[in-house]
Structure 1
C-alpha cells in the first residue's frame, strides 16, 4: 500500500472545469473545481504549468517522492519509508499556499495484485470461527463480492483478510491483495454514510461518506450498521465499503468504531 500517488491540477488560476495532470500537460475530463478566492482588481499572471510542475517536483523530492515519468504518477524513493513519505507529501501539497487554487485532488495508489493467492503464507494463522466464516460467505453468495481484500507483508505472510482468503480459494475467485510492511501498523477502515432509525428500519441521512477504523471481534460486511463517535456525538453509519490503511500517520487520522449494532441495511 502507498506505492504511489497521482496529482491533479486545475487549469489556470481561477476556477476551472479542466484539471490537468502533472508530468504532462494533457487535459482530463471534468473531475472537480478548486475553491477559488475573491478575484483581486489586478490579478497576477497565472503561473505557467511547466513552472508549477517543476515546483511540485522539487517539493515532493524533499519528502522522498519522485516523478515516475509516467503520466501524473509519483512514487516513493525508498520502499521501506513509503508510508511516511506519501503522508508527508500529501501534507506538503495541501499546505502549499502557491497551490491553493491549483490543486484539484490527490489520489493515493495502492497495488491490488502484489502476489498470486497461492504464494500467500499462512504462518501462525488460526482458523476463523464457523459463525464468522459463514457470515462472510453469506455476503459473498448474495453479492458475488468479497467483503474486503487481503493484506500481506513484504514476505507474503498474511496480515489480514483470512476469511477473504478462504472464500477466494473455495470459489476460485481473484481477490484484491495488498502489501503492508510488517513493521508498520495496519488498520481495517469502514467507510459509510450516516443513518437514522425510523419505523423499525434505517434511513440514510445524507450522501456524504465518512470513515472509521474497525477492530471489533464481530464480523463486518457492507450493509452493516455501526455506532460511531462524531464531533456531534454518537451516531450510526451504514457501511458502504471496507478498506485498509497503513503507516502511523494514516492510521492516526481515524477514530475507532464503538459498537456493531448487529443490524443491516441493503446497499
Structure 2
C-alpha cells in the first residue's frame, strides 16, 4: 500500500520515542525525525543524544511544563508559516502525563493537521505484561502529591472495578504502596513494572502486600509503572437510600455543599456522585 509523504507542511507530528530500548524506535519515526523542520523536545540535551545519533539536522527547541505559555504560540506560528513540527518527550508517547497534550489541543483549535507516529508507551507496556484484565482499564498517571484531592483519588481506586495504571517516582513509591494497602487492602492484585524495556527491567507482584514487602527491603530505583487490579463486586457494597441520605445530611451539617457531600460519599457508598445528588434533591422536594 502506498503511504503518504512525510513530513507535510504545516502539520504537527506527535512522535513516540523509546522508553528505554533504542531498538524500539520505529523506522517511520526515525525517518520523520530526520526530515522534519522543527522538533520540540521536553529536554533538548536528553533528546539531543537520540537526534544526533539519527543524524537529524532539524531545529530543536525546548518544550516542557514550565514554558508552554510562551512556546506554544511560537510553534503555532511555525505551523502557520508552513513548517513541519514534531513534538517528542524524554521517553514514550507525548501527550500522556505530558505538556504535549496542550500543544495538540492548541494545534487542533488553530485548524492545523495533527498526526501521531505511534511508539512505545509505559502505560500500555506495563498493562499488557501484567497479566491483569485489560478488556476495561483506566489511566491515572501520577496521583496528586498531597491533600484532599489525593485522598479522594485513593478512595476512588479502592472501589474502581477496572484495572488502573499509575505512574510513580522512586522516592514516593513506598508511600503510594502503603496508601494502596490502606485503601485497597494488601491482597489487591498489583504488578509494579520497573525500568521497562531497559537492562534491569523488573516486574514485582502479585499483590500490594508483596510489592510493599519487596520494596521495603530493596530501595526503589528507576522509573515505575503500577498496574492495579480492579476491586471485585463484593468489595464495593452499595449503601441503601436511607444510609446515603443519613450520611449526606451529616456531611452537609459539617459545612459541605450538597454537591461536595455527594462527591465525598460516592467512593465508599458504591453509588455515583450524580445518583447521590439526585437522591438528596428528591428527598428535599418530598420534605417540602
Q: TM-score range by the shorter chain?
A: under 0.3
Greater percentage in helix: 2
TM-score, normalised via structure 2 length? 0.26
- Answer with 1 or 2: which has the greater Rg: 2
TM-score (norm 1): 0.27
